[in-house]
Amino acid sequence: MMMTDRNDDILEDIFAQARAVAPTPSDDLIARVMAGVPVPQVASQPAPRRSLGQQVLDILGGWTAVSGLVTATCAGVWIGVSPPESVQDYTATYFGDEISVSLFSEEAIFATGDFFDG
């Protein structure tokens, strides 16, 4: 059975005719498109200067990003000051012995009670 190229020849003729026609938009279309284009305006006043704090806030990503950073910092300080038992066990295993740091000295005047006795 032999295949014929009749359909391909017809398509090639249609594509050749389509390539021969140069597409040009109508004047009505051009007018409607240009009517929707905003006209650029020159600023009469310079933009107000932003403070250093506002610039830093924008660099960090705005209030949402800064609130996330503050939350993570507070959680890190909290876990650092009073770590859960599992963290203490892990550090004891990793470093070999448990390390305890006291925020207040035992020799402080309010620890001995002299401060409150008058």
pTM of this structure: 0.38
pLDDT of 48: 83
pLDDT of 83: 77
**Mean predicted confidence (pLDDT) in 32-52:** 81
pLDDT of 1: 43
The predicted-structure confidence for 54-108, as pLDDT tens digits, reads as follows: 999 999 999 999 999 999 999 999 888 887 777 777 777 777 766 666 666 666 5
Enumerate the domain spans of the chain.
Answer: 69-101
Cα R_g (the chain), whole angstroms = 38
